Amino acid sequence: MAYEPPTHTVERSIRAITGAKIVAGVDEVGRGAWAGPVTVCAAVTGLRRPPAGLTDSKLLSPKRRTELAALLEDWVTCHALGHASPQEIDELGMTASLRLAAVRALEGLPVRPDAVILDGKHDYLGRPWQVRTVIKGDQSCVAVAAASVIAKVRRDAMMAELQGEFAAFGFAANAGYPSPVHKAALAEWGPTPHHRLSWSYLDALPQWRHLKKVRVAAVGDDLEDGGQLGFDF
C-alpha cells in the first residue's frame, strides 16, 4: 500500500503563526512494552526535503527502517533521545514517564526548540514547551516521522543488547513487547530487572504475582499500564 509522504505543512503553519524559528518533532516508542524503557526522540529537520521513503516507523520493514535511520541521523539538523526506565515507569506512571523522557530528549538537543510537534492527540509534555499535537504526525510531519524512525531503531537496538543475558525472552525479536516467546519465558522464569512490575501482565502469572508493584496515583495522574496494548514490532 502506498502512503502519502510526510510534509512540512504543520511546521510552516507553526512558524507563520508563532514566529518560531526552531521546531522539533517528537515521537515515542515503547509505551506498550512489558519490558525496557519508554524512549522519546526529538528531531529538528528544518524545511529540507527528507530522504525518500520516510514515514511512520511502524509502516517500514525492519531492514528499511534501519537503513533509513542511518540516513536520518546524518540528515537531520540535530536529534536527541531521552529514556524513562522501567523503574521510573513503575514509580511515576506512563504519562509522567513520557514527559520525563521527552524533556530529557528536548534538553539533550544542542539548541532549544521554540515549538514542538508532538505525535498523537494528548499533550503529555505541557508547559513551558509550546506544543502542537498532531494525530498520526509520524505519517504526516517530516520531523515527527524522522523522530519516529530514529527512536524505534535505537530502542530496538537497546533491547537486542539484552538478548545475550536474557535469551529466553526473545528481546531481539519482540523488543520487550508481548509475544508468545516472551509470555512463555515470563511464566517460567519470572520478570527480569528490565520488566515493568506495576503492569497487569503479572496478574496472569500467579507464581510471580507477589512481585507486582502497586503505585499510588497522585491527583490528575494516569493509571494506564499499557499491559493490554497491541504489538508495534
Summarize pLDDT for 1-14 with one digit per residue, the tens: 556 889 999 999 99
Cis upstream peptide for 128 (omega within 30°): yes
d(CA 35, CA 90): 11
**pLDDT one-digit tens code per residue, 49-72:** 999 989 888 888 899 999 999 999
Q: Which helix (H) or strand (E) holds 39?
A: strand 38-44
Asked if 38 and 89 touch (Cβ cutoff 8 Å), the reply is yes
Phi-psi map region of 46: left, alpha, beta (phi>0 left; psi -120 to 50 alpha): left
* Verdict on whether the full-model pTM lies above 0.85: yes
Per-residue tens of pLDDT for the chain, all 233 residues = 556 889 999 999 999 999 999 999 999 999 999 999 999 999 999 999 999 989 888 888 899 999 999 999 999 999 999 999 999 999 999 999 999 999 999 999 999 999 999 999 999 999 999 999 999 999 999 999 999 999 999 999 999 999 999 999 999 999 999 999 999 999 999 999 999 999 999 999 999 999 999 876 544 455 444 433 222 32
Question: Which is nearest to 137 in space by CA: 127, 147, 129, 128?
Answer: 147
Asked if 76 and 43 touch (Cβ cutoff 8 Å), the reply is yes
Determine the 3-state secondary structure of 80 from DSSP.
Answer: strand
Question: How many Cα atoms occupy the beta-carbon half-sphere of 155 within 13 Å?
Answer: 32
Phi, psi angles (nearest 5°) of residue 7:
-130, 180
Neighbours of 72 (CB within 10 A): 23
Neighbours of 214 (CB within 10 A): 7
Question: Which is nearest to 213 in space by CA: 29, 37, 75, 88?
Answer: 88
Provide CB contacts within 8 A for 120, sequence distance 6+: 133, 134, 135, 137
**Which amino acid is present at 172?**
A
**Which amino acid is present at 180?**
P
